[in-house]
């Protein structure tokens, strides 16, 4: 059986990408990253990919003048799909991808798109989830939060069938920066755990599991 082929889509620093690169290099996963794609040409994730010898591509997501938002979104999603299709991925990892993907993209890779989100299922969808969870904790509204991975079946925001999650309990004795560091550490572990789930099951997983 050939190695599992991952495409990683990322918009920023790429620390979770680096964790995946390192785990594969150590032989912990029978997988390979065949492409790193960023929405930001200046994203540090592209440099991480280049250092590891992984093909890297940037497709800027700034709205093109003269196109209405819906038309641009469809065109951009189509361009993303066309860029990825030649690499024949088994799975696409969204590790800090900051755009909602539309059906023009999802339909090409249905049941193969995996998103990482720093919240527990059903909580704090969208951006700034860590900060929002911290604020909710300080107001006494929650006792715990966490990180999760899930499939992306549609245009919903941080929804879809959950693959795995890990709980993180904030502490009143720590700063927001300390809490953020623990959340990112939990993300790193969950990325590897999720990849380990997907590698042996890539020909047998069922949508919704």
Q: Which residues are catalytically annotated?
A: 117
With a CB cutoff of 8 Å and minimum separation 6, the contacts of 177 are none
Nearest Cα neighbor of 41 from 55, 61, 21 is 61
- What is the phi-psi region of residue 158: left when phi exceeds 0, alpha when psi lies from -120 to 50, beta otherwise? left
d(CA 109, CA 152): 10
Strands (E), 11-161: 31-38, 56-58, 91-94, 113-117, 145-151
How many Cβ atoms are within 10 Å of 6's Cβ, its own excluded?
27
Q: Are 170 and 134 in contact (CB under 8 A)?
A: yes
Distance separating alpha carbons of residues 66 and 54, to the nearest angstrom: 35
């Amino acid at each position: 059986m050939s190695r599992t082929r991952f495409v990683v889509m990322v918009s920023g620093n790429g620390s979770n990408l680096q964790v995946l690169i390192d785990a594969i290099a150590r032989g912990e996963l029978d997988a390979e990253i065949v492409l790193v794609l960023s929405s930001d040409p200046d994203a540090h994730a592209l440099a991480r990919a280049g250092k590891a010898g992984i093909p890297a591509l940037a497709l800027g997501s700034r709205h093109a003048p003269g196109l209405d938002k819906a038309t641009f979104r469809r065109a951009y999603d189509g361009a993303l799909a066309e860029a990825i299709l030649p690499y024949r991925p088994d799975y696409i990892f969204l590790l800090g991808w900051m755009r909602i993907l539309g059906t023009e993209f999802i339909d090409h890779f249905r049941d193969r798109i995996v998103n990482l989100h720093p919240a527990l299922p059903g909580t704090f969808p969208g951006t700034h989830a860590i900060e929002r969870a911290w604020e909710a904790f300080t107001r006494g509204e929650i006792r715990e939060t966490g990180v999760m991975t899930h499939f992306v079946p549609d245009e919903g925001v941080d929804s879809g069938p959950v693959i795995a999650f890990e709980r993180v309990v904030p502490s009143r004795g720590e700063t927001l920066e300390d809490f953020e560091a623990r959340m990112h550490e939990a993300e790193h572990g969950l990325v590897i755990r999720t990849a380990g789930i997907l590698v042996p099951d890539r020909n047998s997983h069922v949508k919704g599991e």
